[in-house]
Amino acid sequence: MLDNKGFDLWADGYDKNVGISDEENTYPFAGYKDVLGTIYKIIMDKPNAVVLDIGFGTGTLTTKLYENGCTIYGQDFSARMIELASEKIPNAHLYQGDFTQGLVEPLLAQRYDFIVATYSLHHLTDEQKVCFLRMLRDHLNPGGQVLIGDVAFENRSQLEQCRKDTGDEWDDDEIYFVVDELKKEFPSLIFTQISYCAGIISLVS
């Protein structure tokens, strides 16, 4: 797993690397643009939404939301990612912090219409995911949603099949979402499959 220095080094080439994987429909970013586009459309249904983006990277999704009237808060643990994103969204409220340790204090003081995490929460263990998602849900405004776009599978057998098909390219350091296991903790969770290895998980307040 990359630490914050690793992400700093990857930051400048991140969008290119993701784009190649998406266009070639290969793991892990097959469906990436559709994942972000779908989340964008959901958020755009609420004018002037207040959005928290966790692990926003270079701000690909966040920039589009910002340009279309959303108030943006964000946390990322790479100083370089924050620097690149800040150039695009200068009035956003961006903070550096490791979300495996939770949200930084200024973000805990707010409530949000949407909390977004795209391709970031797979760094949490399954137990950490449950605790983190409960905490995030508690910081939603009434009617708000947590929207997670990530490598995710309906069940464990689908994950194992993708692991087998991917071979040496599979990243054993990542802990991907298995929806039917997560539903044991969040029965109202909604999952939308976008590609063979990615989808969107929605939790409402």
- Residue-level pLDDT at 43: 96
* pLDDT one-digit tens code per residue, 40-91: 999 999 999 999 999 998 888 999 999 999 999 999 999 988 998 999 999 9
Structure tokens given for 142: 């009434």
- Residue-level pLDDT at 139: 98
* pLDDT one-digit tens code per residue, 2-26: 345 433 433 454 566 777 777 888 9
> Which residues does 24 contact at the CB level (< 8 Å), separation at least 6?
30
Query: What domains appear along the chain, each with residue ranges and CATH number?
Result: 4-18+29-204 (3.40.50.150)
Q: What is the DSSP string of the chain?
A: ---HHHHHHHGGGHHHHHHHHHHTT-TTTTTHHHHHHHHHHHHHTSTT-EEEEET-TT-HHHHHHHHTT-EEEEEES-HHHHHHHHHH-TTSEEEE--GGG---HHHHT--EEEEEEES-GGGS-HHHHHHHHHHHHTTEEEEEEEEEEEEEESSHHHHHHHHHHHGGG--TT---EEHHHHTTT-TT-EEEEEETTEEEEEEE-
- Residue-level pLDDT at 3: 47
- Residue-level pLDDT at 23: 81
* pLDDT one-digit tens code per residue, 85-128: 999 999 999 999 999 999 999 999 999 999 999 999 999 999 99
> Which residues does 184 contact at the CB level (< 8 Å), separation at least 6?
none
Instruction: Determine the Cα–Cα distance for residues 120 and 49; give it in Å rounded to an integer.
Output: 21
Instruction: Determine the Cα–Cα distance for residues 17 and 76; give it in Å rounded to an integer.
Output: 19
> Which residues does 155 contact at the CB level (< 8 Å), separation at least 6?
178, 179, 180, 181
CA 127 to chain centre: 17
pTM attached to this predicted model:
0.90
* pLDDT one-digit tens code per residue, 152-198: 999 999 999 999 999 999 999 999 999 999 999 999 999 999 999 99
- Residue-level pLDDT at 75: 97
Q: Supply the Cα-derived Rg of the chain in whole angstroms.
A: 16
Residue the block writes with tokens 């964008």: 40
- Residue-level pLDDT at 24: 85
